[in-house]
Amino acid sequence: MPTSDEIGSRGEWIFQMRVTQPLVAGDDPIFRPHFLGDKFATFDFLLELTGLTPSAAYCFIQVKATTQGYTKGIPARLKVGLAAIDVKNMVACPAPSYVVGVDARNEQAYIASVNGSDCDSFSSLKTTYPLVPENLQTLWAEVREFWTTRDTVLGGSAFKI
């Protein structure tokens, strides 16, 4: 039986495989995942958007993997959870933040936004938004829109040239 660390690692690889698959055969991937390390607080990946000039759009991802399957409700929910402190930290982040639940047995992945979340924690994740090309395109557009509508220039730095 795999350990929770092994399940988590498998989930991270499945996530990376899903977000780096070209949407159309022969095209380049629209995301470039950057693993933040096993002990990074709250987030597992910085997910950079590709195809932008200059390239300055990204979001943060927390990957939660399970082999426990789905709830019996309709629609079924993936049995992964997120602690209240992680939800709080993700909501406080000034960049788009998402949780990706991975069914490690069936290699399926689902995404949900934590931005503006009013939940404290959760023990299962909606399966409404699988990581498929249509939803990856929507995610890319959502994150790009976030960064293009903000003034992100640091003014008045103490470290002037």
**Res. 117: pLDDT tops 90:** no
Residue 159 lies in a domain: no
Query: Which range, 29-43, 59-73, 84-98, has the best average confidence (pLDDT)?
Result: 59-73
Amino acid identity of 103? Answer: D
Residue 117 lies in a domain: yes
Residue 155 lies in a domain: no
Average pLDDT over residues 126-138: 95
Residue 10 lies in a domain: yes
pTM of the model: 0.91
| 43: containing domain | 4-148
Structural domain count of the chain: 1
Residue 154 lies in a domain: no
CATH classification of the domain holding 27: 3.40.1350.10
Residue 55 lies in a domain: yes
Nearest 5°: phi and psi at 106?
-105, 5
Q: How many CB atoms lie within 10 A of CB 120?
A: 11
Residue 29 lies in a domain: yes
Continuous segment of H or E residues that includes residue 131: none
For 55-67, what is each residue's pLDDT tens digit?
A: 689 999 999 999 9
Alpha helices in 21-132 (DSSP H): 84-92
